[in-house]
Amino acid sequence: MLRFLGVRLLQAIPVLLVMSIITFIIIQAPPGDYGDFIRSQMVTQGGASVAAADAAADQYRAANGLNDPLPVQYVRWIWGIVSRGDFGHSYFYNRPVADVVGERLPRTIMLALACHVLASVFGISFGILAATRQYGWTDTILSFVSFLGMTIPRFLLALIILYVLAFKLNVQELGSFYSTYYGGQPYWTGFLQFNWAKLWNLIEHVWPVIFIATLGGLAYNMRVMRGNLLDTLNAQYVETARAKGLPERTVIMKHAVPNALHPLIAYQGVILPYMLTGEIEVAIVFSLATVGPAIVGSMGIGDVYVTATLLLVLGATLIIGNIIADLLLAVLDPRIRVGRQEA
């Protein structure tokens, strides 16, 4: 197992390198850069003349190396990461990219883990209930909930909840993680100085995002689990277990469910980077400072190093997610472990 893990981690290095090159090229492909953003801001909001704005943009490009050839910019960025752990400087935030990512990534992971755990637990449980009560009222209700979760657009549901909270329930504090009476302290300080009131305040602020993201994941997990379990319950080894006189609960939970989980576990490697985008459209609606809106915003204004770093992080999570999925499959299925040992 350790050998397999080491090989996969070594294989990830060239994959990340190629991914960083492709990402950097795609980000730089559209016309314009951050100098153009400065120019437009000076003309439209600062009231500067076009000539003065052009001069300021050219000066900014020269000072920050935006006029350098694309290969030079990439090598400078990737060498800073490898040699010093420096992911570059954000043009928009005027701070190191590592600080920008360090602020948004932990809170995004917090939301993603909460959504993932809830969607997995309830989705798999509901899928088992629906499959074992096929065509009954339980199956009908759960299938309808799954249908709604997969068909209602996330942004539409977010807008509806936002309208109800803001205009019907008169909720004042939206778009943050904590209320203002906590002094705007960082979320990690809130966790280090833990108390139940602070935790409840956090839940009050982020529950719409968690609810919307969980509903979509729950719907998918339930549909996949229901379909896989129905197929598995008709397999010969399940019929053999029944013929041996095992209780139906044992047959389902010990023999059928572990095999029905395989496709869902394999899917976790793909879903991990999607989770870390923080449900982009939902986070934008609620103005939450997570990874997803940062990617969209930085791409729109040409903040290259923020975009490239965040996409590189998502690529790394995709690789890590697939490795974790392979390890979980090996734990569930002894045939996979034997196959790897023979290889």
The yes-or-no verdict on residue 188 having pLDDT over 50 is: no
Q: How many Å apart are CA 170 and CA 298, to the nearest integer?
A: 32
- pLDDT over 70, % of the chain: 90
- pLDDT digit string, tens, across residues 76-87: 999 999 999 999
The answer to whether residues 212 and 282 touch, using CB atoms and an 8 Å cutoff, is yes
Q: Residue 160: what pLDDT?
A: 94
Give the C-alpha separation, 305 to 97, whole Å: 7
Taking the domain 104-342, which CATH number applies? 1.10.3720.10
pLDDT tens for 249-290 read 999 999 899 889 888 887 777 777 777 765 788 888 888 888
pLDDT score, position 194: 62
Report, as an integer, the average pLDDT of 234-258.
Answer: 90
Q: What is the pLDDT of residues 25-75, one digit of tens each?
A: 999 888 889 999 999 999 988 888 889 999 999 999 999 999 999 999 999
- Tokens (6 digits) for 15: 């994959």
CA of residue 149 relative to chain centroid, distance: 18
What CA–CA distance (Å, rounded) separates 126 from 77?
Answer: 47
Secondary structure of residue 47 in the 3-state scheme: coil
**Contact predicate 259/232, CB 8 Å:** yes
Helices and strands: H and E segment counts in the chain: 17, 0
What is the Cα–Cα distance from 331 to 34, expressed in whole angstroms? 49
